[in-house]
Structures are given as C-alpha cells and as structure tokens.
A and B are shown apart, each in its own frame.
Chain A
Amino acid sequence: MPKPKHAEPKLVNIEINGVPLQVPEGELLVEAAKRVQADIPIFCYHKYMAPVGMCRMCLVEVGYKQPDGSVRKMPKPQASCTLPCTEGLVAWTETEQIIKDRRAVLEFLLINHPLDCPICDRGGECPLQNNTQFYGPSTSRYIEIKRHLPKAFPLSKYVALDLERCIQCGRCVRFTEEVSGDAQLAFLFRGAQTQPHTFQLTEFTSRFSGNVIEICPVGALTSRAYRFRARPWDITTQKTVCTMCSNGCTLYADSRSGKVVRFNARENPEVNETWTCDRGKFEQTYMHAPDRILQPMARRGKEWEPLSWGDAYELILQRWGALSQQAGGRAVAGLAGHRLSNESLYMLQKLLRGAFQTNHIDHRFTRYQGALIEPPVQNEYRDLEAASLVFVFGSDLADEQPMVFLRTRKANRRYGVACIVAYPLENAVEEFAAHSLRYRAGSEDALLKGLLYTLLDMLPAEQAQANLPDAAWLRARLADCTPAWTQDQTGVPTETLLAVARQIADAPSMLILAGEKACDHPRAEEVIELLHTLNRLTGNQAREEGGLNLMPTGANQQGALELGVAPHLLPGYAPVGDAAARERFEQAWRVPIPREAGLSTDGILQACLQGEVQMLYVAGADPVREHYEPSLAERALRACEFVIVQDVRMTETARYADLLLPTCPFTEYEGTFTSWERRVQRFWQAHPPQGEAKADWQVFAELWLRMQRQAPPFNAGEVMREIAALVPAFEPCRYDALGEYGARLG
C-alpha cells in the first residue's frame, strides 16, 4: 500500500507520436515515452538520479496544444530527460529532424571514442554501441588523431578507468554526489580534456563504487575482477538475491561455464532501486572458494574419510538410534546459519522438532537471545521516506545496512526526512544527520535512559500517559537519569541531548533503526526494552510509518525467526507452549512435538559443555566465527560428542565436525530469502552444484524421509506450499504467486 505522505499526483493529457495518453504531472517526457513504447535513446539520464541533459541524445520535437486546438511547435528540439510533462504537451520522437540530430550527436560522441569494442568489456552490452547501431552514422568523417589518455587506470581495488572511452555523461560523478554522497569523483579540467577522476588520483574508496561500473554507458569504468573474464554473449544470467546482509538487494548472477563471473544489480523499486554495495557485488565469492566441501566426509581419527550420502545419513541414524534409547530429543540440538533459504530453515526445524524430538534450535549468535513473540521489525524501505524522523541507534548504517543507508540518505535529500544518529564512532550518516550523538561505547542504556527522562519532561503529560500507561512507573524508575547524569555517563553534551529530545518530541512520526550495538550489548535485554519503551512513549508503536526495527544482520536471519528456528517459536511466531498451535503442526507433520521451549544458542553451547547435548547439528552456521564469545563456541564444539556440520566450505567450525555434509551456496539452488523488512524474494539456480553438494532443504527432506517414512517434498516450491498452508503470513509467497519484487509478510 502506498503510504499517505506522497499524495496521488494530478494527471495531465499529453500526446506522443500521435498517441494520446495521461501521465502524472511532472513526469519526465523520457519516462512517459516508455508508456507508448517510443524508444528514446539516452546516455546521461538515469531513472534514479536527477536529470541533467548533458549528452543531448534524447532530443525530441515538442509542441504545445493551443486553446484553438492547433499545436505550436518549439523552434528547437528539446532534451526529453529534462522536460516535465504538462497539460497539452505534444512530442514526436521519430521525425526526420530528430533522426538527423541523433546522428549528429553520436558522430560528435564518437570523435574521440576509441573503437576498441572487440576488446572492451562493455562490447555487447554497451549503450553507446547499441545507440550507434540503431541511430548513428555508419561512417565517421573525422580523420584527425583521436584523443589519447591512460588506459585501464586502476582507480581502486574494484574499478578500472579507461579515460579514452569516456563520453562525459557525468553519470558516475552524479552518482557519487547524489546517491552515495561521498562525492569522490568529479570532472577535472574542461572542454575536450574533461575527465572524471578522484582527488589527485587517490583511491576511490566509496562503499558503493561498483555502481559506477554498471551505470557507465560506455566501457570507461570497468570491473577489475570481471575484466576480460567473459563476453556478454557467453554468460548466462539468472535472477538472484544478495546474501551478504539482510537488505535483500536483488541481483543478477552472471555465470560462464558454471562459474559466477559477476553480480549486477537487478532493478527493484521497493528495495535496492538499481544499486548494490561493493560487498555484495565484489566480495561475494564464497561459492567458488578453494575450500569448498564437495562430498560428505566422516572423521576417522585425524583423517577425513569420504562417504556417500546414503552412508552419511546412515551414520546420523545410527547415532540417533543410540541416543534416542538413553536421552532422547533432549540430547540433540541444532544451530542454523543466516544464509539458509526459507525452505531450508523450515525443513531444519521440522526435522529437529518432528524427527529428533527437540526444541533446542536457534540461529542467534549475538548477546540478545530473548524470547521474542512478535516480529522485531515494524517497517519497510518505503517507510523511510514516509516517516518524519529516522533515528539510527547503535548502528554504523552504511557498513551494516548499506541499502538502508542509501534509502535513508535519499529520504533525507529528496523528501526532507530528518535524521538523528547515535553511534560511538564517526560514521557516514553524520554527513546529513541533524544531530549526531557520539556516546561512549557501551553506554547505550544510559543514553536511552537519559533520552527517555528528557522526553517524559517534554511530552505533554496526557500524551505520555495515553501512549504509555505505566508512564508514572517509568518516571519513578528513571528519576535520577537527568541530562547531567547522562552527560556524565555517556559523554553526550546536555544541550545535544535536549535538542535531540526536542526534535523527537516534535516529530509527527519516528522510525528507529537499531543496529548491532543494541543487539550485541552486554545488557542487550535492557537496551531493547528501553528502545521499545521509547517507541511506545512517542506513539510510534501504533503508527504505520513509524516504529522500531531491530535490524537483523544476516541475509536470512529474519526468515529464521519467521520460520521458527528459535527455541520458543514455531513457524509464524506461534509459541511452542501454545497447545492449539502445536496441534496444527502436529497434524500436518503427523508427529508429536515436544511441549517445552528449548534452549537458546548460549544454552545449547553450555549444554554441550556439560554433556547434556550429545549431538549438535550445525547447518550453515559458523559459531566459532559468529558467536560473540568464540571461545565458548569452540569449547562446546570440542566437548560435544557428535557434531554434524553442513556447510558450503571449510569454516572454523567445520574443523570440529565429526560429520561434514556439503551443501549448495545460494547460486546453486533455488529458494527464497526474507529480508529485514520481512520481504520474501525468490532466487534461482544460476549454475549446477559443485561436487556432491545438495541444497540444505533437500538434505533435511531426505533425512526426514528416512526417519519418518513420509513422502518428502520434491522441490523448493513444494516446501513453500507446505509453509504457506501452515503459516497464513506466507500465503502470498507461493512460487506461482510470488512476483518479481517479492512480497511482504503479514
């Protein structure tokens, strides 16, 4: 549903190539022309950036209808990328004059452009090449010497710059200025010498540098990792979703002979528009890591002994057979990673709860492992633009949530959404934030207490009472958290605190983005409780565009919570203790489910140490690296009698495994991920699995078959169908209903 902030625009009547149509007032002509399939060639225009009209490629003839019905033509052709549609506009995109003009523009652009297309990475997918083919002259009249400039200049680890090819469209310069905000690229010199460059040719250090490669309409900016790896016509492109963080950016995985050679952004107006971060674009290479696990292996002393899948399952069943006689399900536990698909997570908890009779299952490795009963996120990307204030708490947003950062920045620039950031260190949000609270690390709780104290003072008493019935109790609890005390505890000056509180009190709605510093705080329970109080006190709990979001960090961490990979929750946030909910799942799975809530991650690891948990199933997780206390994880894994590690590659944790099972990374199977905003998006298989790797859900399904003698699901779509039948929120996520841009839960 569109949020109410941006009112429905007025429609105006225009005419393009003789076709009358209605478009929203102010829509750019170049966009309006797409509605009637009138093809206007462009170079400098980009849908998600402000138009500049630099390249003159999109010239069209334009006129306006006069009151007497005649059309008065403008004397010169107009750039359609800078022309907003108004009532009575008439445009012609294919007249003889325009065809001539386009030829002329292209002839100029090609004067200095080297014709090295055969060795150019862009060749085959190059807007300049395409436009020349369709609209350009077939020969050049230019016989002088072309401009010569450095070739393949390494601008950074990821980006190479080929200045000769540059046509000065300014897309890259505008991107760094408008979208990523670091303005690290600028045009140097003037006239024919104009060239985009960094300051003094220093490194291009932007977090979003990879985008300039994609938006460059020629081969001037190319990816160093992809350079000369493949040609556009011998790669297969498949739609996928990024797994580097929880932002759920949609990508294209381009692979050549079974290897992914690059990731490009896939447009999704609800999520990443057309952007990616460098981590997602360049650092996502683990599917071709040299330490991939390629077949099931069992530990024999110090050696790994290769097994067949059948023998591996047999080994698990043997172990379980012995265990179930003595301790039963209490002695089994599971830890899930955040890169597993929704289907895999569902099957994992089904396997553990149904077959292994245990609720000891978790996916959280931060200090906050509380018993959540509702989604920890309230908002979606769109809300960032609809809210009046975004409060970034304890998060280095640009690093933890790159796409949320870009969208927040856009909300601030384009819609004037105010921003407040609280983080102990310098961070990128400060660039546009109204206030920055740099508190002493670890004093998150004190800062929140001080803020709540001040807010209780500032908000009208009735309002506070209405929003928070126990306001009086809170007042008593925070009696000594005065601004002076807060300054003493956190180092945040009193004036700043008061100004921030004033802004929060006055804001019609506030959206809180709470990051790692909140969820990984030693007193995380308290910090999160205080955040909830702040959310309720300001009345944002009930608002659609405001709310509190405890941002997950892992790709499908949110999905794990939705699908019951938590000791106290069944899929769909149904408490394990709830007999009715349990019965629903018991009937569907045709097995009883243990009644008591299980142990959380810390509990499981402790239980391993004490020998209570004797079989640990680690699927896609790496507790040794991810757990906040690696030594605890390490000792627990060493103590546990039988550790099954199911992963893509040899992780730290895999070294403690007794049985290793190879699984597919996200490019090798299909499924869905749930992003932080509870958006479920599909990804497809980009290339065949390596070795004997299987998709996680398939391994769980095969085990389920062996243990329960029930027909297993045959593909991921069937698993999703089973989920949708049991959890109403997942109803729109059935594969046949799930659209290009995914669907939000609930």
Chain B
Amino acid sequence: MQEPIIRITERPKPPQPETLTLRFSERAVKELDALLTHYPDKKSAMLPALWIAQREYGGHLTADAIAEVAYRLQRSYAEVEGVATFYTMYNKTPVGKYMLEVCTNLSCMLCGGYRILEYLQQKLGIRLGETTPDGLFTLTEVECLNNCGDAPVMQVGDIYCRRLTPEKIDALLEQLRQSEEHTVVQLADAEVQLHLSAQERERIQQSLSQS
C-alpha cells in the first residue's frame, strides 16, 4: 500500500450547498412550490423542475442549473444530472434561440428529410448539432415527430413545420430572424405551464401582479 502509481490529479470537490448561486425567479419558485404539491415526494417533481430550470437558465441546463434543482428538491447532484442527461429534450450545451429539429425517421427520410437537412446545413453554414455564430439557430436531427402524414417535418420550439420545401424553409428562417421570440425558452415555459393546473397558473399570476 504505497503511493498509487497513477499521477494524482485532484478532482474538484462537489459544490457545497452554501456556495450555490440560486437563480430561480420569484415566479419559478412559486411554480415549483405548486408542482411539489402534486406528488408524494420531492423527487417526483424532478422533470418539471428541470423544465423550469431550462427556462430560467435561458434554454439549456448548466451545471449550476442542475445543482440548483438538486438543492431545491433535496436530491443529490449526481441523481439530477443523471436524469437531465438521460432525456434529449433537456439541452446540456448552449443552444441558439431557435432549435431546428429535423426528423429523419422512416417517412421523412423517404420524403426527403435528409435533403432538407442538407439544405439547412448549407443555408446556415453549420453542421449537425452546431449553432450559427449569431446564436440564432441550432440544427439537430431527431427521431419520429409523430407527423408522418405531413413528411418531411421539422420542429421549431412548439410548432411543427410540415411538408417542407427549400422555399418554405427560406421563408421560415426569414420570419424567425425578424421575430423576437426565443422558442427554446418558450417551449420550456409551455411544458411548465402544462404541468400546472389552471387554478395554480391563475394564483401564481395573481400573486405576482400583486407584489
């Protein structure tokens, strides 16, 4: 039992709860509190809590976001990170304002899904998984979007663009460039609102407008 052969590279310590910077807004905290009442234990609220975090941290889950969720749900960091990395719709790396998710599954492939992908890559000058330098578009390939009748399909935020052609794409990109929306954050918000009941949404709205 002498000194180990491997060169010792000290790993950083996991963050202490006191050192976390909590970034959830007042609204987010209220939403999480409401969500926690839905389940018998805090662990069950992990998926919606991660959606809240994805919204609050501007579209993707940083290490801080994961740590904050873990702290607020009193779970270990690793457990939350495991969940976040399991699901593809939680973004672990920074993404653009608009996520272009092109389906290349069976029907879309037969109807030219890969051509659409190719076209987008050339048009935006990026490869799969990359983000344009202006931070607007991120291009990804996804599995079946459950809209085979209208193939080829692409998802941007919570809207579906159906029967895609290069012209339609040009128009869509132009429209998105003009738009002020942040579809990635919007999608996260939509997911959060979906988990809350109508009364809870109303109550949160009211209490926020009062204060």
Chain A positions near chain B (C-beta within 8 angstroms)? 152, 154-157, 160, 177, 182-190, 197-205, 224-229, 259-262, 282, 285, 288
Contacts and interface: CB of A to CB of B under 8 A. Distances in A.
22 contacts: A154-B8, A157-B8, A160-B6, A183-B75, A183-B76, A186-B78, A188-B81, A189-B86, A198-B14, A198-B78, A199-B70, A199-B81, A200-B12, A200-B63, A200-B81, A201-B11, A202-B13, A202-B14, A202-B15, A224-B6, A227-B5, A285-B1
A199 B10 CA distance: 15
A224 B4 contact: yes
Given A225-B1, A226-B1, 18 more contacts: A154-B8, A156-B11, A157-B8, A183-B78, A184-B78, A189-B86, A190-B86, A197-B78, A198-B14, A198-B78, A199-B66, A201-B11, A202-B13, A203-B11, A203-B12, A204-B11, A225-B4, A261-B1
Given A224-B6, A228-B5, A186 B14 contact: no
B76 A186 contact: yes
Nearest to B78: A186
Residue from the set B6, B67, B70 with the largest chain A CB neighbour count within 10 Å:
B6
Interface in B1-31: 1-2, 4-6, 8-15
A186 B4 contact: no
Contact of B14 (A184, A187, A261, A262): A184
Given A201-B11, A227-B4, A228-B5, A188 B75 contact: no
A109 B70 CA distance: 32
Nearest to B15: A202
Contacts, number: 85
B79 interface: yes
Nearest to B12: A202
B85 interface: yes
B114 interface: no
A203 B86 contact: no
A288 B3 CA distance: 12
A359 B1 CA distance: 41
A668 to B, nearest CB: 15
Interface centre among B15, B67, B75, B81 (most CB of A within 10 A): B81
From A184, A200, A201, residue with most partner B Cβ within 10 Å: A200
Nearest to A190: B86
Nearest to B7: A154
B14 A154 contact: no
Q: Which 6 A-B pairs have the closest CB atoms?
A: A186-B82, A199-B77, A183-B76, A186-B78, A203-B11, A224-B4
Given A190-B86, A260-B1, A261-B1, A205 B78 contact: no
A182 B74 CA distance: 11
B11 A154 contact: yes
A155 B11 contact: yes
A190 B5 CA distance: 32
A205 B82 contact: no
Contacts of A182: 76
B14 A203 contact: yes
A183 B79 contact: yes
B11 A262 contact: no
A152 B6 CA distance: 8
Contact of B6 (A154, A190, A200, A203): A154
A110 B9 CA distance: 30
A513 to B, nearest CB: 25
B106 to A, nearest CB: 20
